């Protein structure tokens, strides 16, 4: 899958190039480009924002540089185009899976300042996605969260063991507690059952822990069981 991000701050995306997503990019499982919207400004000073018509605080991103960036990156309109916005559909595990299964390449538009001129959204955008009910200073972090969450579902990005564990989130349960060596740390012992080598009992214990944690911390997730 190819993901392009249209942003005023392409350098923010450098941090995607480490860890699991970095390996996915290096290994060719994910192609990623951050496109600088400013490069498409026709203004002498590469200005991309202006005062809002009707007055009010802050600046609004101008339509032309964004429109031209879309034209350059996706001239035949073959990509799924998403605007990162608190007004959008909430990103969940299911939405991340859906995006990973998308057969078009994806373009994520990141807004900044007080927003983006509505006309370029009406012209260019297929869907808006929000990562939660709070307002970020820009869409970049939201785009990174979305890329990270969907990449985990791309074939070959995670090892098979990890992919299987993801199935447990799909069944609306929180993760069970994990432990590694040493078996005793600051006087605290790892639960005996995890040292027992009895695979079926370990599985059972983990399922029970997941149920208990979900019941205590996120009972709303269990409502889908009914
Ligand atoms: N841009 C600003 N806030 C956002 C949010 N919560 N989700 C997605 N994009 C955003």
- Residue 50 has a pLDDT of 96
- Residue 183 has a pLDDT of 97
The reply to whether ligand 1 has any atom less than 6 angstroms from the CB of 139 is yes
- Residue 169 has a pLDDT of 66
- Residue 159 has a pLDDT of 81
- Residue 58 has a pLDDT of 93
- Residue 167 has a pLDDT of 61
Q: Do residues 116 and 109 lie in contact, with contact meaning Cβ atoms separated by under 8 Å?
A: yes
Q: Do residues 49 and 62 lie in contact, with contact meaning Cβ atoms separated by under 8 Å?
A: yes
pTM of the model: 0.94
- Residue 162 has a pLDDT of 67
Q: Do residues 140 and 13 lie in contact, with contact meaning Cβ atoms separated by under 8 Å?
A: yes
Strands 60-61 and 188-189: unpaired
Mutate to test the pocket of ligand 1, among 8, 12, 84, 99 (most ligand atoms within 8 A of CB): 84
Say whether 5 sits in a helix, a strand or coil. strand
- Residue 225 has a pLDDT of 76
Copy the structure tokens of residue 200: 């079926």
Q: Tell which phi-psi region holds residue 155, choosing left (phi > 0), alpha (psi between -120 and 50) or beta.
A: beta
Of all protein residues, the one whose alpha carbon is nearest to atom 6 of ligand 1 is: 86
Atom of ligand 1 nearest to the CA of 84: 9
- Residue 113 has a pLDDT of 78
Report cis status (omega within 30 of 0) of the bond before 182: yes
Helix axis angle, 160-170 to 93-100, nearest 10°: 130
Q: What is the mean pLDDT of each run of 10 residues along the chain (226 residues)?
A: 98 94 94 98 96 95 98 98 98 96 98 93 98 97 98 90 62 94 98 97 97 96 80
Beta bridge mates, 185: 188
């Amino acid at each position: 899958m190819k993901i392009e991000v249209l942003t005023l701050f392409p350098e923010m995306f450098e941090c995607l190039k480490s860890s699991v997503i970095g390996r996915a990019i290096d290994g060719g499982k994910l192609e990623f480009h951050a496109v600088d919207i400013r490069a498409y400004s026709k203004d002498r000073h590469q200005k991309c924002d202006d005062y809002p018509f009707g007055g009010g605080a802050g600046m609004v991103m101008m339509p032309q540089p964004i429109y031209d960036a879309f034209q350059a990156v996706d001239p035949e309109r073959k990509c799924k185009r998403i605007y990162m916005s608190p007004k959008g559909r909430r990103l969940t595990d299911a939405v991340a899976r859906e995006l990973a299964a998308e057969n078009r390449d994806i373009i994520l538009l990141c807004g900044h300042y007080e927003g983006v001129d509505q006309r370029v959204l009406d012209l260019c955008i297929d869907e808006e996605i929000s990562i939660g009910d709070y307002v970020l200073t820009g869409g970049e972090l939201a785009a990174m969260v979305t890329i990270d969450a969907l990449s985990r579902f791309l074939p070959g990005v995670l090892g098979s063991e990890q992919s299987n564990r993801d199935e447990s989130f799909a069944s609306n349960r929180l993760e069970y507690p994990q432990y590694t060596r040493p078996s005793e740390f600051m006087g605290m012992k790892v639960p005996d059952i995890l040292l027992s080598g009895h695979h079926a009992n370990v599985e059972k214990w983990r399922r029970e822990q997941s149920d208990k944690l979900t019941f205590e911390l996120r009972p709303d997730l269990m409502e889908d069981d009914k």
